[in-house]
Each structure stands twice: as C-alpha cells, then as structure tokens.
Amino acid sequence: MPVEMEKIVSLCKRRGIIFQNSEIYGGLGSTWDYGPLGVELKRNVKDLWWRSVVRERDDMEGLDAAILMHPTTWVASGHVESFTDPLVDCKKCKKRFRADDLEGESCPECNGELTEMRRFNLMFKTFMGPVEDEGAIVYLRPETAQGIFANFSNIQKAMRRKLPFGIAQIGKAFRNEITPGNFTFRTREFEQMEIEYFVKPGTDQEWYDYWVRERFDWYIKWGIKPENLRLREHGKDELAHYAKSCHDVEYLFPMGWSELEGIANRTDFDLRQHEKYSGRDLHYFDEVTKEQYIPYVIEPSAGADRATLAFLVDAYREEKVKGEKRVILSLHREMAPIKVAVLPLLRNRPEIVEMARRIAGDLRGHFKTVYDDTGSIGRLYRRQDEIGTPYCITVDVQSLTDKKVTVRDRDSMEQDRIPIERLREYLLGKLIQ
C-alpha cells in the first residue's frame, strides 16, 4: 500500500521540501514552491535524467528553448485547434469536472444535473509588447516538445548529425488544467523532461520499443520499486491523432496507478506540420542512400515534478526502532538532497565542535554536506533519516585522540569507525555510482 498523500505533503512542508505557493496570501490554487531540500531533490532528478539521456550517450544533443514561441507554432502543432478538455459544471454544487473523468450522467459529488459539455483550451494566453490586442497574443508553451521541433534543422546542421539522433530538453510548461490536484501530480505550471528522437521511417518501431524499455528501466535504476511501476499501452481509441502508438509508464501513486511518463511514436506529423506552416524545408538528406525524407519521431515525455513526487512516495517508510517510530526516506543515494550530515556528539565541547565543522567544510566541496548541532544525537539522526540523508558522521571525545569518526548508514543504521583522512575516499566509494 502506498503511503497516504497527506503524510507526504506534511513531511514536505515540515522539512522544507515543498511549500504551498503564496501561502501568506492564502495560497494560489495548485501551485507549489520547492524549498531548500526540494530544490536539491528535483535538481537531482533532472541531473540524473540529463546525465543518462544526454551526457552518457553519443546520439543526443541538449537544448534550452524559450517558453514563448511564435504563435503560429501552436497552430501548426494543433494546440490552438484541439488542445482542449471537455468541461462540464454541476448546476447544483457548481463543481467543475472533466467530462472524460465522469462515469455517470450526473454530478459525482451531489448527484446534481450537469451542464452541456464545452470544449476548453488549456493554453495560457498572454500579450507580447504594450498593446493588448489580438495581434499581440502569445502562449506560454503547453509542452517543451515544439521548441525541439522548431530547432530540428538548426541542430542537425550545426552539430552535423546523422539519423538516428535525439534532442533533449528540460523546461517549464503551462496548462490551464480543469482539475489540478493530488499535490504536485497535476499543476498548472510544471516542468517537463522531453526527448524527441529522430529516426528513419521504417526503423521507428524498433526505436519505439527501445525507448519504452529504456525509460521504464531508468526509474527502477534510480530507486523506484519494480512492483510500483508498470507499462500501459494506449488503446487505438485513446491515441492522439498524430500518434501511431503510445505507452504510459505508470506509477502506483497514493491515489492509484497514474501516468508518470508517456512514450509516443509521433511519426512525421510535427515536422510535416512545421514545414507546411513555416514554408521551410525540414527534410533530411540521407547521404548514404541519397534519399530525402522527413524523419519519424519517438517522444519519451516525462514530468520532473511527477517523477520527484514518485521518488518521494516510493522512498517513504515508517518503522519501529526500540519502540519508537522512525520515518525514513530511503532515496537512492544520488537522489538524496543532502548526502552527508556532520554531527558533534557534544555541542558544548569547543574542540569537538571545531573538528566537526572542519570535517563538514572539507567534505562540502565534494558532497552536499550539512553541519547540525541543534539537538541530541538521537534527534539529529531522526531528522536526517526523515529527509533521506544516506550518511551521518559523528564526532565524539575519542575522535580528538584517535582522529577517527563514526559513519552511520541511514538504512541499516550500522556504524563504521573511519579515520578522518580517509573519509572522503570512503564516502566517494559509497555515494557515487
């Protein structure tokens, strides 16, 4: 059974992981701010994604495109016309629903009568420049993908790329969701981690299968328990009009199995549309076969916020130790926001404090390290367990003479006595995969 979402929300607030946005004004619906530990955690999620899909591969390039794009982009992509959700209101309790989420004909909350279904475009509009007229409308991008398609030719030529190759991007996206909720699972402002992988038509199925496996395995590698992850193939009736096939990677969130990432075979739809609307030639010239064609595209599209939430939920554990409750985030070591905490056993002994501070200072350049002396050692351990710190180093009276410290492992709670001069090497071996 997954942990209840309230426990995660409360831990996130208490420990500076995620706060409600604009809380002092009563909050702004479904917007969240990542606090000091949350920003580290989410950055680790993004860095580990970037590392495995860009840095460690020779067939990928990175991109950081602007959020605002030429408005014709969204006509070409189909978003202006059809990026809509079906909306119904309850005439009695005034609650609003996505028609495709409802099972019956009446309001699921109060059984009241529902209005006719209306189509509601999910794109946020704003104005560019000082005049707020039709001609100045621009959109906050609802997905990062189109920035990649619009730069396909630039990147292919500048980097002298041959197919197959991919472009990866991490960035904010905005959707005026009708029913946001479940903490950071569905928000109106969120971050995507998207890949467009360009291949020769005819080889698309094999690359599609490859990316479905690759992306599924990534979550397992970085700590999600296999029993909490599954693949779900979209039925023909569910597929977007441009997609040949699509698999969702689903995670067992507290509210049930839900999408974490989608991997789609988008065919040549997007590049063809951009060619049509921009008038630019977006064909690829294959120098070996002397053929010209528009590449097919496999798109693994993930959410950084959803992934962060899944890693948090999956890592949360409660256990009893000597009759007391112990809360642990057993995050993968490389995912943990803080890697090492240095704790003096006695905070009123200046030599111990000084030694602990010096050790923390030395390690800080290598691992995210904190020094904490604001409680008893038992309490300090508890605090670090709760935020997933894999190693706590304790400096005690004996350390002053034998120049050794105790290193405690978060999960096993086992303790090793390590010479201070070997600490960095010891931790490197444990923390870096």
Rounded-to-integer distance, Cα 198 and Cα 268, Å: 9
In the region spanning residues 114 to 153, those forming contacts with ligand ATP, defined by CB under 6 A, are 143
- Contact window for ligand ATP (CB under 6 A) among 127-135, 149-157, 186-194, 385-393: 186-194
Enumerate residues 6+ apart whose C-beta is below 8 A from 202.
Answer: none
Q: Are strands 229-233 and 137-140 parallel, antiparallel or unpaired?
A: unpaired
Smallest gap, in angstroms, from Cβ of residue 216 to ligand ATP? 13
Smallest gap, in angstroms, from Cβ of residue 250 to ligand ATP? 10
Enumerate residues 6+ apart whose C-beta is below 8 A from 339.
Answer: 333, 367, 368, 369, 389, 390, 391, 427, 431
190 binds ligand ATP (CB under 6 A): yes
Residue count of the chain = 433
186 binds ligand ATP (CB under 6 A): yes
Q: Which member of 77, 156, 182, 192 binds ligand ATP (CB under 6 A)?
A: 192
301 binds ligand ATP (CB under 6 A): yes
Q: Which member of 262, 295, 300, 337 binds ligand ATP (CB under 6 A)?
A: 262
HSE-CB of 264 using CA atoms within 13 angstroms: 22
Whichever of 234 and 347 has its CB closer to ligand ATP, that residue is: 234
Place of tokens 């831990």: 11
The answer to whether 86 touches 99, Cβ cutoff 8 Å, is yes
- Residue 1 Cα to chain centre, angstroms: 22
Structure tokens at 65: 């495109």
Whichever of 175 and 383 has its CB closer to ligand ATP, that residue is: 175
Smallest gap, in angstroms, from Cβ of residue 124 to ligand ATP? 12
303 binds ligand ATP (CB under 6 A): yes
302 binds ligand ATP (CB under 6 A): yes
Structure tokens at 208: 């599609």
Q: Which member of 177, 286, 334, 362 binds ligand ATP (CB under 6 A)?
A: 177
Which of these, 287, 214, 90, lies nearest to 98 by C-alpha position?
90
261 binds ligand ATP (CB under 6 A): yes
Rounded-to-integer distance, Cα 254 and Cα 314, Å: 10
259 binds ligand ATP (CB under 6 A): yes
Smallest gap, in angstroms, from Cβ of residue 246 to ligand ATP? 8
Interacting residues toward ligand ATP by CB under 6 A: 143, 175, 177, 186-187, 190, 192, 259-262, 301-303, 305-306
